[in-house]
Chains A and B, each alone.
Chain A
């Protein structure tokens, strides 16, 4: 196999260990991997499966606190294990490049993009600065960045997330490497931006005949990019086949479960009896950030026991609407009524009862839970604060809530948030909101940071609690699969305006609005040809509009 000169990367029996409290624990158990020149391999699995760890190991790199303990990594005929840092550094950037999940965090904010682009070719002595800049412009053009000639002279904060991700891909291609590792490059982007980035990456990889390892937890995305897919679970390989076979006939149950969330459907509920006062009524609300008009005439209602989804791309005003309802941002016009009672503009003027009725769950459980408080205190405080339970009664209630979250009370009661996984943290966030016994819970992108299996668990949990307690959710998301899975009604927002609203089935199945249609069409499908046909359509329509 290794003698085949078309083979670029051969990994055999890779063992990686992480430093834990009691010494080294294995996290990758003997994974094999083969990659030919120009081939794209998708690595897929839930968080903690070891995708990124394996991806980095392909560069001979192990993260802080990790070490490569066994196996061989053969890159283009050279064995990377046992090489010194200096030897590896000669390879990295030049022959292997890496594109990280958050381009915004990976660029140095103090340097212009083009200088960061030129860094690798200059260090490796491949070209002069002027040459590098010329090539950068050509690549930026390839990546379809707007104003390619000038965009490199801007600083990272002057570009959008999708543009940065493309600039980062261009930077990875600077030395024409043989292999690029893409680590969840579109996970942080919304669907309409994701398409542009996916198209740019695929185009570049194909044109330069670069091999790539594409890491993601989204099967539909990897289907567009990869020739072969490898499914990982807890550091072991589950299966590996070419993309089409994998999609049409996955052999393992685990692989099948990876996309089950897409098939989840909300439970049908009886229609609301006419004339009942809605639980939440948002009536002609306007709001400003300084002079910027961020919400314009927002109107919708939410009934008891129902879920309304707020949908739109980033910057559409979804989260701002939530902040206005919670009283964190003051509305300049319009009314927010809870059970017929108008809520004060700022949360500071609301009564404790009103505050108790509306609770929030945040996107990032990392920043939403105090890292210095134990779970018992995080959940116990609202119990104590609103319901007046103390001591044993409070602890019992906390344990009851943990049980509802499907978390073993004995194990988790005294833990700190840092000792939990992402999905578990989000469950604690939900438990804290439920502890207040509210009528309305605002869920702000709560599943966006989670992989699909974990997200599905959270959605099912929310559904079950809703049935038990007749709760209402305002569910903010850009993930349309999640909307289908949980919401009864859907409000589509764009640039601070409500574009369309109605029952989920109507809005998502036969919308008349161009924007909603575009949003729907941008969701990657489980079809390897989806991206190609989608791009052809947009090109055709842009040609039409030009002529």
Chain B
């Protein structure tokens, strides 16, 4: 018998393998950015818009900072914040969704209608509005996007948990006198982890894209912190000279999104395979 982990990798489709390798590379870069980057993140090290050279691998930006180094630091900032935001959104939306599904009375109505109202406002515009009310800071950015994305997670969790709450084993647990928390944790949660994990992957991409979009608009991470969305804006004028440097941070965003989706697709496939 081979080890189940080796078996798992062997049965993986090639898209999932590529996805996992790419995600690991991104994580590695984000973690070891200070050691990998040839120049500091925020320091002006050369002239403005210097071309690609052995000293500045990908040239410099509008203030003379090294684009390659900022790209590496940007991985750390953008991915870190997106990850924290997604985790927070999941805790918030997931727990409320589960409580809503198992409680089923006025609390469910109240939470569901509240979420409906929040979802009625376009997300990006709502985020812009809230950011201008509460002021721009990393903490506010994380909190606002987490709350807005939690509405989607709430909906999903509530829907999949609903399907489980009507099962007889949940009824049996209720009749046994189990507490609501125990039923959520032991009876429902193990049965909905697969859709939640895949939603986590997708949601991470969306959060990542919203942060980049906000940064591009100048409302996300504030300079001089390196961020891929902001970097696109900083070097945007180069595009008219036929230079592809502004596309590199955009490509970094795109590749990570695709890689995460490869992994999520595979997780979803495995989940549906179990149901057959």
Contacts and interface: CB of A to CB of B under 8 A. Distances in A.
Interface stretch (A78-86, A275-283, A359-367, A514-522): A359-367
B170 to A, nearest CB: 8
Interface in B111-137: none
B176 A355 contact: yes
A432 B167 CA distance: 16
A371 interface: yes
A347 B92 CA distance: 30
6 contacts: A347-B175, A352-B177, A355-B177, A364-B168, A370-B169, A436-B176
What is the size category of the interface that chain B forms with chain A?
Answer: 10 to 19
A373 B186 contact: yes
B171 A370 contact: no
B4 to A, nearest CB: 12
B168 A382 contact: no
A64 interface: yes
Contact of A373 (B174, B175, B190): B190
B172 A368 contact: yes
A407 B268 CA distance: 35
B157 to A, nearest CB: 16
A436 B169 CA distance: 15
A368 B168 contact: yes
What is the size category of the interface that chain A forms with chain B?
Answer: 20 to 34
Given A368-B172, A385-B176, A432-B172, 16 more contacts: A326-B175, A328-B175, A347-B174, A352-B177, A355-B175, A355-B176, A364-B168, A367-B167, A368-B167, A369-B169, A370-B167, A370-B190, A371-B191, A372-B191, A373-B190, A381-B176
Nearest to B191: A372
Nearest to B187: A370
B80 to A, nearest CB: 32
B176 A382 contact: yes
A436 to B, nearest CB: 7
A364 B174 CA distance: 18
A367 B169 contact: yes
Contacts of A326: 175
B55 interface: no
Contacts of B172: 360, 362, 368, 432
If over half of A's interface residues share one DSSP class (helix, strand or loop), that class is named, otherwise mixed; here it is mixed
Nearest to B276: A64
B71 to A, nearest CB: 43
Interface string A417-436: 00000000000000010001
Interface of A: 64, 326-328, 347, 350, 352, 355-356, 358-360, 362, 364, 367-373, 381-382, 385-386, 432, 436
B191 to A, nearest CB: 6
Contacts of A386: 176
A385 B186 CA distance: 14
Q: Which of B171, B178, B190 has the most CB of A within 10 A?
A: B171
Contacts of A352: 177
A370 B177 contact: no
Interface in B166-201: 167-169, 171-172, 174-178, 186-187, 190-191
Contacts of A370: 167, 169, 187, 190-191
A7 to B, nearest CB: 37
Interface in B150-173: 167-169, 171-172
A64 B272 CA distance: 14
Contacts of A64: 276
Given A64-B276, A370-B191, A372-B190, A362 B175 contact: no
Contacts of B171: 328
**List of 10 A-B pairs having minimum Cβ-Cβ separation, nearest first:** A372-B190, A368-B168, A370-B169, A355-B177, A367-B168, A362-B168, A352-B177, A367-B167, A372-B191, A368-B169
A431 to B, nearest CB: 13
A532 to B, nearest CB: 40
Contacts of B187: 370
Q: Which of B171, B174, B177 has the most CB of A within 10 A?
A: B177
B95 to A, nearest CB: 19
B62 to A, nearest CB: 54
Contacts of A436: 176
A149 to B, nearest CB: 38
A382 B186 CA distance: 13
A303 B66 CA distance: 87
A385 B191 contact: no
Contacts of A364: 168
Contacts of A371: 191
Contacts of A350: 177
Nearest to A365: B168
A385 to B, nearest CB: 6
Nearest to B1: A22
Contacts of B191: 370-372
